Amino acid sequence: MSTKFESSTKQIPHSQECVYRTLSDLNNIGKVKDKIPSDKIQDLTFGTDFISIKAPMVGNIKMRIIDREEPKTIKFETENSPVPFNFWIQLLPVTEESCKMKLTIKADLNPFIKGMVKKPLQEGIEKIADVLAIIPYED
């Protein structure tokens, strides 16, 4: 059974194109890793097309970019995760200098697993959205 988790919508004071350009090459996030509060996310590693994070209760998760739709969507798929899922970043323009972002996770979860991971997944997607909303984007 497919379950969807969505972050709240985050306002970002940079253009949709700027945010897309930064997030579509994950090495760019690695450059600002020291600006990400360590209490938010642990053990982040990056490559052009992948991100690996350590999440509470589930351990290490590695995701790879599987699709880019410039300048509005970046889709990921898990490579290493106790629960396989898809993850995507949606960007919508608000003005020429700002955009809004929402993150979505879609996972096939049986009722038992869903009960165990629902809260950590919802909290995790919200933390990731918070971090992506505050990193310094360069126009």
Contact 30, 49 (CB under 8 A): no
* Section 90-99 average pLDDT: 97
Stronger pLDDT, 135 or 65, i.e. the higher one: 65
Helices (H), the chain: 16-23, 27-31, 111-134
**Tens-digit pLDDT profile for residues 18-61:** 999 999 998 887 776 676 656 555 677 888 899 887 766 667 88
What pLDDT is stored for residue 37 in this prediction? 58
**Which residue type sits at 95?**
T
pTM of the model: 0.85
CA dihedral of 8, 61, 50, 90, whole degrees rounded to 10? -20
Pick from 86, 77, 83, 70: nearest CA to 19: 70
